[in-house]
Amino acid sequence: MQSSPTTKPLSPRKMGVINGRGLWTLYVKEVRRFMNVFSQTLLAPMVTTLLFLAVFALALGGGGRQVGGVDYILFLGPGLIMMSMVQNAFANTSSSILIAKVQGNIVDLLMPPLSPAELVIGVAGGGVTRGVMVGFVVALGMSVFMPLSVHNAGFIIWHAVNASLMLALLGMIGGIWAEKFDHIAAVTNFIITPFSFLSGTFYSIERLPENWRFIADFNPFFYMIDGFRYGFIGHADSSLTVGFFLVLIVNIILGFTAHRMIATGYRLKA
């Protein structure tokens, strides 16, 4: 009689300091979530951004103006790319959290053996990936209609990742705080949109009256767009060093806030 093969007794899987497999699974889930509808999450932002470019280039005669020693359209292009990136990074994480809460499956996010830090990294990582991918697709589409030169690739990459991270973390905080979609719309209308339009995307802050410069000085959106634009055209309206550290500090504060909200179960646990 043939003996049955020995089976290894079941035992809990040991994890190290970081649950790498769980973190990777969460990140992949967040990426697949927006890639399943890539025409809506990647191609639609490209079309919208190109329409903005067309309006400013044609309707407002932007092609004949100079800003910072470069053609206005070259000045405008990087700002439009950055706006599209951060708006989509915010939309990705805020909708992911809020939809899970509204549909009642937020437990699927909280029950796995993932620490609050791993949850923040996994969800925010998906938002950053979407933001960067949108930026690449928009830049690719924009390059067909205007020349996009690279002055400093390091500044482009650093500001693209950190700006997307900033809005991804803000989206997480907004999604956790919100109880319905109207709350997310309020964050978009009263925070994201004003900060974006007053960030120097469509104009140089040199055109602002001296006593109105504080609008840009205290706007983190301005610094991330200014540094990103510098990477393309080599022109900056502010100190690149100040912008570098300000964006970094804001990300640390937002990351700590998101971590704290998840760790305490704020509006996540009944």
Our CA dihedral for 162, 168, 172, 177, rounded to 10 degrees, sits at 90
Distance from C-alpha of 228 to C-alpha of 237, rounded to nearest angstrom? 11
Q: What is the mean pLDDT of residues 157-184?
A: 96
The model's pLDDT over 191-225, given as tens digits with 9 standing for 90+, comes to 999 998 889 888 888 888 877 788 888 899 999 99
Length in residues, the chain: 270
Distance from C-alpha of 209 to C-alpha of 156, rounded to nearest angstrom? 29
- CB of 113 within 8 A of CB of 255? no
The model's pLDDT over 31-62, given as tens digits with 9 standing for 90+, comes to 999 999 999 999 999 999 999 888 887 766 55
Q: Which of 36-40, 78-82, 175-179, 216-220 has the lowest mean pLDDT?
A: 216-220
pLDDT of residue 63: 56
